[in-house]
Structure 1
Amino acid sequence: MFASSPVALLMLLLVGTSVPGQTCPPPGESEGRCIELTADRTGEVSEVQISPGQPTSFRFDSDVRADGMTLEHREHFEVAPGKRLITLEPSERLRGEKPSTLTVCFADGAAPACATFRLFVHPTLGERRVEIFRHPRPVDSVQAELKKTREENARLHAENERLRAERDRPEGLIGLFVSGMVGEAGIPSQFIGKRITRRESNTLRSLGVRTFRAPGRVAIELTLKNPSATKSWTPHGAVLVGLKGEVLDATFWPAEPIPSGKDGHVWVEVMAPDVQTGGPFTLKLWEADGQRTFVIGNVLFPALAVQPEP
């Protein structure tokens, strides 16, 4: 039946000539419908309009498995399957019926492994030609990306749980006690401006350095002067580096520029088990381009005071 159709004959002659990795042309520049399949959109279902008595041809740029096609209500279709061309002609019995589903799976084992189409029946208007361009990726590459995404989602979930727990606590002094950051001995602090070491290449001058410790975290208060006569200085990142090269990620506040010739305050905080914050450390602050830095060494934190039992 399909051999008598000029469109079907032309499609059969064109099978196998598509180049993998093709993309759909701009709207209006292609004959018929064009659909692109990508690995990161696996599971999406494309909608295709069909009409009783009118053949609709699906042309793929990748081989499909002979046993990898499933067609809902197949008894109501005439089907001409092929490696890269599948032609469907719905019968009159499909008029007024609910949409059917066509699923095809590809032979190369790459992702996306299959494609699904929802077939809507229109009384007279059906799409005659549907081209499917697939952008395959090795399955192990997709799995590695999924693993990375799951790990990132788990990290964000844990962060959200921490923020939710902190939000549910009271603020102010009560919140500090409830969080466990402050005990009866308070938060010990010390000025270390006279014992730190400075690099000659520093673009800022330290006017004062004070360190703090609470259970599971340490902080540094910096009073800094920007001696530049023309450029402001804006912190972008901070770390503490231990004697053995271990790096502790730090947060800082505020992320605001210190104007040229002015003084400013920057707070740096690290959340880590107490055993990791024995020191001494090197503190590194840098701007976004990494060219202008502020580095001080011999940074020490006070010990947690132990309140004697009454």
Structure 2
Amino acid sequence: MLQPFRLAIALALMWGAAAWAEPAPGAQARRERSVAVASTSAEPLPIVRVAGDTPTVFLFSSPIQKKTLTFDESRIRVLDAGERSIIVQPVGNLGAGERQEMGVFFADDRAPARAAFVLVTDPAEVDSRIDVRRPEPPNTVCQPTAQAPVPKPEDFVLLGYVDAKGVTTSSRKGKLNAVQGLRLDNLVAFRGTGWILADVTILNRPDHPAWTPREAMFVGRVGMPLRARLVAKTPGAIPPGENGRVLAAVEVPETEVDLVFTLEVRGDGERRLTIPDVRFLKPAAEDAQ
């Protein structure tokens, strides 16, 4: 038996194939084509032609988070959404000059993070299938992210990183003894819905060379170590005698208990800062309704 995703795709493609083979006189010609996701906010969004009597299938090269799908429900219907596909159809043909935007976030952390499209109705043609291409990242050596994309408050809610329980924090004001010339100055631990983040300020001792943090790992009391995403507030090395600030973030299963990890920040020359007993407090209880 075909799975629902495959069945939906098969039906949509059969509809498109049948209409392609024998277009009715004066009917819209059905097309299958590929479009590229806009890499920056300055680039125009790809235009997709839709019609009230034809489903349009979007096939993505990377998994998507279907719960982040945004569109005008009064004008657009989503017939099906899967791990890599969306099938849409307007309630009716869009009016002349009417442009409806539809967008969805990808499931991974690679840029561009969101795919967005402008839906219009063309009296001559309709897109029955859209293959969505995502630009490949440049082939460069992995480095700590110099600057994170500017987030919007709604992004955190749409992606599910913040819910009614909010975010809990804990902090550490004490200092660890310097090892390998690195010392912890300050740490704030954040915990949200399905994620943890450590905001760490590190002192590089004056009698040691410049040091660039390159990777971070959360090591728990049980289970496999978790490789974190590492974001540096200031790109490059921390000079001798100066502070540097880094953020280490990773997704974790949702639980109702405190999480305790040892955080390791590794960098040049096998030097590393090891911070034990980093505590991420359990989520706050939701207010009673």
TM bucket, shorter chain: 0.3 to 0.5
Task: Return the TM-score normalized by structure 1.
Answer: 0.43
Task: Return the TM-score normalized by structure 2.
Answer: 0.46
Indicate the structure with greater strand content: 2
Considering only CA atoms, is the larger Rg found in Structure 1 or Structure 2? 1
